[in-house]
């Protein structure tokens, strides 16, 4: 006979031992205790030591964490271990808890299948396994529950058809069912013999369900919330069923293949079916195949409605004025249809409106000035229509307006000065219209703009207003394709967050200012097709962020190098400048001719410089003997290798441009080699911004000397004098992660397996900072450029210059508690990676770092910078990926497979298996990335949880056959209540 499993042996031993001592009267309790011990033996990960009390012989089982007993019978009636980050499998031994009424194992990392033995828990009333990694099919035996009223299996990896027994056998008691965010297929298993009479909440979104909405749902007269979004359901809208749901409040049918009545020509029957639902609030029908004219009866929809989504369909006709009857509507979305006619002025009666989406339609006429009377409007998107006339002055009354999108119309006249009163405006896009006149100084001075200003493709004229320099937080400015003239004001260097600047196709003249070298985040610069003259400032080549440049069709002269940022130049970037020369392939070479008069001029200059060189050498020798005698108090208590200023000068070639490897707002980073061949990176802080630098330097010193971890950058020494402050760090030979995601030349070839290990390293380093470091740290600026790679591609987190040291309770900051925005004039971090709550004035937090990590993961799999998505898609990277989820992710997978280096598994597994592994990696990255970037900070995992999940993924890619991961589709752990659109 084979060996019995350890859990069974333990169960028998405990039962015999307990009965021998206490007699039979307590046998049920000892049986249940043994079952829990068996369950504990299947737990492989307990990072929070939740089960510590379970191991103590002095703690009664009814006092174990998560356990609650009936006071009268001393039987276990509740097991709640939700949100404990437990990993492992769910043991069938739980079926021995015969009196159990509540079983909640949600928001953990349980894998494997749901044990069919759980169906023996006939007293169970609540079962929640939400947000785990459970797979396989749902056992039909779970339909044995007679008293169950709450069932939540959402956000797992469950597949197959939904067992009919799940809806039929226990239908008399079920009130809440959540099977969403899985991979269930087949039809919804309801018919005349199988009904859900007591159901209130039925959530089946994000699956692979097919067929029509079953007529048997008309028996569910208590239904309040029905969510069938993101499936493959079809047929006519359920107008025959809806009137039976008198309690209905939320109906989500978006992103299916529903059509309207009468061969997809009539929406009226469905709208009429809703009119008597007095409690109805939200209707979502977006992304279907709905056709027909927008009926006038839309005004008969329940006045209680707060949101109406009809976007991305084939609806035509004009907007009926009767829509103004929906006075409680906060969101109206008709975008991407074929709606024509005028915008009804009666919209002003909808005083609670916060967001209006009417873009990508055929609307014409003028924008009604009455829109300016809707006091709570925060977003107005009327783009891509045929609107004409002037921009109403009344927009100035919208004090809460954050996004105004009017591009792609036929608007004329001038930009209203009154727009300058929209003090909360973050995006202003008036491009592709017929607007003329000058850019008003009042609008140019909108310091609130922090995403983009787009006035391109209009008929604007006059100079660039100096007030543009007040847009310190704007990400992109596009003024191209106008008739602007005059010089480019050097004051634009105050736009320190600027990443994209397009001034092309205007009549700008004069020299090109060197200000662009001072912009720490500038990535793209286009000044083509103007009348700019003089030389292209060589200082621009020192920019470490510039990747796209266009100087073509101007009147530039002189030489252009191919170093630094100029290495990205091509002949097409310089076309139409006949007097330019240099080593860029395709343009004329510079021929040096030295005249005799030049030699005569050089002789006195050389003779005059000799005494200065001698004096400089003596000063260097003096500094080399003791350049740290007045070092900062932050460095006195740490013993670092003493490297003199002279040694740093020699190692970096006098801090030459050839040694420059990076620059930012606070200074530059140079590479160098010491006399003992030690390769170093010297981070010099720019003392010209002394107010910011002192704090930044002290913080970085304080953090680097108190934290030690294999995935955090270590410090070699600190050089701190009044006029010179530098950190000396080891040179990372493989550069930053950003360099590998966006290489300088050639196509990116992202090794996904290697990226898993890199992200795992980053998560480990961040988990140390958040949870284990002697001084807890919030990094505040986690992004690919701040991840450095060692010789073996081990990732090290660096650049703690804006970090926050926090006390052990993680709720207070060491030092002052002012927010970063108030002390530095910037949001906490880099645009695109900043957690949305920071924009609302919240303090820096570990949850903000988790958000940045999630953005980085989504950036890796999409191959797109978050700032690019903000500008071109008008949304965050989270929203961009979520729109593709769950049925449009294949292009991300295909892209990763194409760009993957197949040598990673060469000779170990087949190419097909390797592609499967890459697919699983991409889907896991999307899953975790979306989870980390949820809008609500409280719903994001901790960095410790993230590190654990990344560690599991790293183990899997190291041995792909060791543990199962999904191969079909991502299942994102995002609750339905976290999916609301936001202006932030």
**pLDDT tens digit sequence for 233-276:** 999 999 999 999 999 999 999 999 999 999 999 999 999 999 99
Judge if 298 and 330 occupy the same domain.
Answer: yes
| Contact status, residue 752 vs residue 740, Cβ threshold 8 Å | no
Confidence band, pLDDT 50/70/90 cuts, at residue 747: very low
Q: For 937, phi and psi rounded to 5 degrees?
A: -60, -30
Judge if 212 and 333 occupy the same domain.
Answer: no
Is the predicted pLDDT of residue 213 greater than 70, yes or no? Answer: yes
Q: pLDDT tens across 353-398, in order? A: 999 999 999 999 999 999 999 999 999 999 999 999 999 999 999 9
Q: How many domains does the chain have?
A: 5
Judge if 68 and 109 occupy the same domain.
Answer: yes
Which of 327, 345, 365 finishes a domain?
A: 365
Q: pLDDT tens across 683-708, in order? A: 887 665 444 455 566 666 666 666 67
Judge if 655 and 760 occupy the same domain.
Answer: no
Query: In Å, how far are 484, 585, 671, 969 from 688, measured between CA atoms?
Result: 33, 37, 22, 52
Which of 306, 339, 365 finishes a domain?
A: 365
Phi-psi region for residue 224, left (φ > 0), alpha (ψ -120 to 50) or beta? alpha
Judge if 83 and 140 occupy the same domain.
Answer: yes
Judge if 326 and 189 occupy the same domain.
Answer: no
Judge if 678 and 795 occupy the same domain.
Answer: no
Confidence band, pLDDT 50/70/90 cuts, at residue 473: confident
Predicted pLDDT at 751: 79
Predicted pLDDT at 720: 74
Burial class (CB in 10 A: 0-12, 13-18, 19+), 605: exposed
Give the end-to-end CA distance of the chain in Å, rounded to a whole number.
65
The whole-angstrom separation of Cα 72 and Cα 88 is 33
Q: pLDDT tens across 531-587, in order? A: 999 999 988 988 888 989 999 999 999 999 888 889 889 888 999 998 999 988 888
Percent of the chain scoring above 90 in pLDDT = 48
Is the predicted pLDDT of residue 630 greater than 50, yes or no? Answer: no
Three-state DSSP at 954 gives: helix
Does residue 340 form part of some domain? yes
Judge if 257 and 136 occupy the same domain.
Answer: no
Does residue 189 form part of some domain? yes
Does residue 281 form part of some domain? yes
Residues paired with 668 in a beta bridge: 663, 684
Query: In Å, how far are 45, 217, 223, 704, 836 from 244, measured between CA atoms?
Result: 48, 9, 9, 65, 40
Judge if 850 and 969 occupy the same domain.
Answer: yes
The domain that holds 105 is classified in CATH as: 3.80.10.10
- Comparing 261 with 895, the larger pLDDT belongs to 261
Does residue 116 form part of some domain? yes
Is the predicted pLDDT of residue 131 greater than 90, yes or no? Answer: no
Structure tokens at 408: 């792609």
Helix 846-862 × helix 752-767 angle, to 10°:
180
Residues paired with 191 in a beta bridge: 194
Does residue 511 form part of some domain? no
| Contact status, residue 877 vs residue 854, Cβ threshold 8 Å | no
The domain that holds 837 is classified in CATH as: 1.10.510.10
Does residue 324 form part of some domain? yes
Q: pLDDT tens across 613-622, in order? A: 444 444 434 4
User: According to the annotation, is 705 in a ligand binding site?
Assistant: no
Confidence band, pLDDT 50/70/90 cuts, at residue 14: very low
Which of 365, 400, 430 finishes a domain?
A: 365
The whole-angstrom separation of Cα 464 and Cα 479 is 9
Across the range 413-441, mean pLDDT stands at 94
Predicted pLDDT at 840: 63
Is the predicted pLDDT of residue 21 greater than 60, yes or no? Answer: no
The whole-angstrom separation of Cα 74 and Cα 61 is 10
E strand map for 221-274: 225-227, 232-236, 250-252, 257-259
Catalytic site residues? 781
| Contact status, residue 428 vs residue 419, Cβ threshold 8 Å | yes
Does residue 325 form part of some domain? yes
Would you give the DSSP letter of residue 160?
E
Per-residue exposure over 251-269, b if at least 16 CB sit within 10 Å of its own CB, e if not: bbbbbbebbbeeebebbbb
Judge if 662 and 746 occupy the same domain.
Answer: no
Which is nearest to 46 in space by CA: 2, 88, 80? Answer: 88
The whole-angstrom separation of Cα 970 and Cα 950 is 16
Domain holding 635, by residue range, is: 626-730
Is the predicted pLDDT of residue 676 greater than 50, yes or no? Answer: yes
Considering the chain, what is the average pLDDT of its residues?
Answer: 82
Judge if 763 and 781 occupy the same domain.
Answer: yes
Q: pLDDT tens across 905-917, in order? A: 433 345 555 667 8
Does residue 674 form part of some domain? yes
The whole-angstrom separation of Cα 707 and Cα 701 is 10
Judge if 655 and 600 occupy the same domain.
Answer: no
């Amino acid at each position: 006979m084979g060996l019995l499993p350890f859990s069974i042996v333990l169960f028998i031993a405990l039962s015999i031992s307990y009965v021998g001592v206490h007699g039979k009267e307590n046998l049920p309790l000892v049986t249940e205790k043994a079952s829990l011990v068996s369950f504990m033996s299947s737990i492989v990960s307990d990072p929070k030591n939740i089960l510590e009390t379970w191991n103590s012989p002095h703690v009664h089982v009814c006092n174990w964490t998560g356990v609650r007993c009936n006071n009268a019978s001393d039987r276990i009636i509740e097991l709640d271990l939700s949100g404990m980050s437990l990993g492992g499998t769910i043991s069938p031994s739980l079926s021995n808890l015969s009196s159990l009424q509540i079983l909640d194992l949600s928001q953990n990392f349980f894998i494997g299948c749901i044990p069919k033995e759980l169906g023996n828990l006939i007293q169970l009333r609540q079962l929640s396994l939400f947000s785990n990694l459970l797979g396989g099919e749902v056992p039909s035996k779970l339909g044995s529950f007679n008293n169950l009223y709450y069932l939540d299996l959402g956000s797992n990896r469950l597949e197959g058809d939904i067992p009919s027994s799940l809806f039929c056998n226990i239908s008399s008691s079920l009130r809440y069912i959540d099977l969403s965010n899985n991979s269930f297929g087949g039809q919804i298993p309801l018919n005349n013999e199988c009904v859900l009479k007591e159901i209130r909440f039925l959530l089946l979104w994000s699956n692979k369900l097919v067929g029509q909405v079953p007529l048997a749902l008309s028996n569910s007269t208590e239904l309040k919330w029905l969510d069938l979004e993101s499936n493959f359901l079809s047929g006519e809208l359920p107008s025959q069923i809806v009137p039976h749901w008198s309690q209905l409040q939320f109906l989500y049918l978006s992103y299916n293949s529903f059509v309207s009545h009468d061969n997809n020509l009539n929406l009226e029957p469905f709208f009429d079916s809703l009119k008597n639902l007095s409690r109805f609030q939200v209707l979502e029908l977006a992304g279907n195949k709905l056709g027909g004219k927008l009926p006038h009866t839309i005004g008969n929809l329940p006045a209680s409605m707060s949101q109406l989504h009809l976007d991305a369909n084939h609806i035509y006709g004009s907007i009926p004025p009767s829509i103004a009857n929906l006075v409680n509507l906060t969101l109206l979305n008709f975008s991407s249809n074929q709606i024509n006619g005028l915008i009804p002025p009666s919209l002003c009666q909808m005083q609670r409106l916060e967001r209006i989406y009417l873009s990508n339609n055929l609307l014409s006429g003028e924008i009604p000035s009455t829109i300016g009377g809707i006091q709570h409007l925060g977003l107005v998107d009327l783009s891509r229509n045929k609107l004409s006339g002037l921009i109403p002055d009344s927009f100035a009354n919208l004090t809460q307006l954050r996004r105004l999108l009017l591009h792609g119309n036929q608007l004329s006249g001038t930009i209203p000065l009154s727009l300058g009163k929209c003090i909360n405006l973050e995006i202003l896009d008036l491009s592709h219209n017929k607007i003329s006149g000058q850019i008003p100084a009042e609008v140019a001075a909108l310091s609130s703009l922090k995403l983009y200003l787009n006035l391109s493709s209009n008929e604007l004229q006059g100079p660039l207003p100096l007030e543009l320099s007040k847009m310190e937080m704007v990400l992109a400015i596009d003024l191209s394709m106008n008739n602007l003239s005059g010089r480019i004001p050097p004051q634009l260097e105050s736009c320190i967050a600027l990443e994209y600047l397009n001034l092309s196709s205007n009549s700008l003249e004069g020299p090109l200012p060197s200000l662009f070298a001072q912009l720490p985040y500038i990535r793209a610069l286009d000044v083509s097709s103007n009348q700019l003259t003089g030389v292209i400032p060589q200082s621009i080549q020192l920019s470490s962020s510039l990747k796209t440049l266009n100087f073509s069709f101007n009147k530039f002269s002189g030489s252009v190098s191919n170093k630094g940022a100029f290495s990205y130049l091509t002949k097409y970037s310089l076309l139409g400048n006949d007097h330019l020369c240099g080593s860029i392939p395709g343009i004329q070479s510079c021929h040096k001719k030295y005249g005799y008069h030049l030699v005569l001029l050089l002789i006195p200059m050389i003779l005059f410089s000799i005494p200065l060189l001698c004096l400089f050498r003596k000063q260097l020798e003096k500094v080399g003997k003791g350049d740290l005698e007045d070092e900062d108090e932050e460095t006195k208590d740490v013993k670092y290798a003493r490297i003199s200023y002279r040694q740093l000068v020699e190692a970096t070639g006098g801090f030459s441009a050839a040694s420059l490897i990076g620059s930012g707002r606070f200074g530059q980073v140079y590479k160098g080699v010491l006399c003992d061949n030690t390769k170093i990176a010297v981070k010099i802080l720019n003392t010209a911004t002394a107010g910011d630098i002192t704090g930044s330097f002290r913080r970085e010193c304080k953090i680097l000397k108190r934290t030690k971890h294999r995935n955090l950058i270590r410090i070699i020494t600190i050089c701190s004098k009044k006029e010179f402050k530098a950190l000396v760090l080891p040179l990372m030979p493989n550069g930053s992660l950003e360099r590998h995601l966006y290489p300088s030349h050639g196509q990116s070839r992202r090794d996904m397996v290697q990226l898993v290990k890199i992200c795992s390293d980053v998560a480990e380093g961040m988990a140390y900072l958040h949870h284990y470091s002697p001084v807890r740290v919030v990094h505040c600026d986690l992004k690919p450029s701040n991840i450095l790679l060692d010789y073996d591609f081990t990732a090290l987190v660096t650049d703690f210059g804006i970090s926050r040291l926090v006390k052990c309770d993680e709720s207070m900051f060491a030092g002052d508690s002012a927010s970063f925005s108030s002390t530095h004039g910037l949001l906490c971090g880099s645009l695109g990676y900043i957690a949305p709550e920071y924009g609302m004035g919240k303090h820096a937090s570990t949850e903000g770092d988790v958000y940045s990590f999630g953005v980085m993961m989504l950036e890796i799999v999409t191959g797109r910078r978050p700032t690019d998505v903000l500008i071109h898609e008008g949304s965050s990277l989270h929203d961009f990926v979520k729109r593709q989820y769950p049925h449009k992710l294949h292009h991300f997978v295909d892209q990763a497979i194409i760009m993957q280096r197949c040598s990673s598994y060469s000779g170990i597994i087949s190419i097909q298996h390797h592609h499967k592994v890459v697919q699983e990696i991409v889907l896991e990255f999307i899953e975790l990335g979306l989870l980390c970037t949820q809008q609500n900070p409280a719903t994001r995992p901790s960095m410790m949880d993230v590190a654990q999940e990344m560690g599991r993924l790293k183990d899997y890619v190291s041995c792909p056959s060791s543990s199962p991961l999904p191969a079909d589709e991502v299942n994102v752990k995002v609750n339905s209540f976290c999916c609301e659109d936001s202006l932030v």
